[in-house]
Amino acid sequence: MSPQKSNTAVGQSAELKPGLVGLAEDWSSDQRAFKNVPWGKAMMWIFLLSDTFIFSVFLIGYMTARMSTAVDWPPVSEIFALSFGGDPIPLVLIAIMTFILITSSGTMVLAVNYGYRKDRKKTTILLLITALMGASFVGMQALEWSKLISDGVRPWENPFGASQFGSAFFMITGFHGFHVSVGVVFLLLIARKVWRGDYDTEKKGFFTSQKGNYEIVETMGLYWHFVDLVWVFIFAFFYLW
């Protein structure tokens, strides 16, 4: 085929059909958005997008309840204050929890870095440190819950003010704590597989990938960074507002 005929054929194939049919064909044939993107990473992005909608609904509902209630909202800084033998320190436990979770994002970044370098030892250690920080966060959250429950806060009542406070608090922080707990479990599973060298030998089983490919660590990192980012919004809207 001559170059002129080839160019003509390409021009004809590039022409779009009019209307919605052409639009649909254009989008269905577009490979730029997910070209060379691993299937697991693409699915993780889709999952995180759907989870973003859920947390957004929760936080918008919380803000709506707080702004519409006629009863005074509880003094959050006083409720979450802890005393270490002296005067209560406002939000000290929440500040420690936030510091630990944000720091775990840094260790997760390092784990991904060493994962792509195929450094099994450092990747495993960093994954375990990240999981330990996540477990510490959940443990502190359990302490926070137990303190509120002992003070009489319930999902249906609250002795400190508006009754919506209890339901909003347990729902939002509980849902986020569940995400952190699931992340800790997956971090431990992936750390075990990295340490055993499953990604170097392409051993069959859960969370496998191509031989010598540690992209599952990066995919797990996407989830963990999302959980940390959501906590920043919860911290700002729930504890600082």
DSSP 31-89: -TTTTT--HHHHHHHHHHHHHHHHHHHHHHHHHHHHHH-SSPPP-HHHHT-B-SSSSPB
Could you give all domains of the chain from N- to C-terminal order, each with its CATH number? Answer: 36-239 (1.20.120.80)
What amino acid occupies position 108?
Answer: M
What is the 3-state secondary structure of 63-78?
Answer: HHHHHHCCCCCCCHHH
What amino acid occupies position 122?
Answer: K
Q: Of 124, 147, 156, which Cα lies nearest the Cα of 220?
A: 124
pLDDT of residue 9: 40
pLDDT of residue 156: 87
Q: Which residues contact 199 (CB under 8 A, 6 or more apart)?
A: 193, 208, 209, 211, 212, 213, 214, 216
**pLDDT per position as a tens digit, 100-113:** 999 999 999 999 99
**List of the chain residues with pLDDT < 50:** 1-13
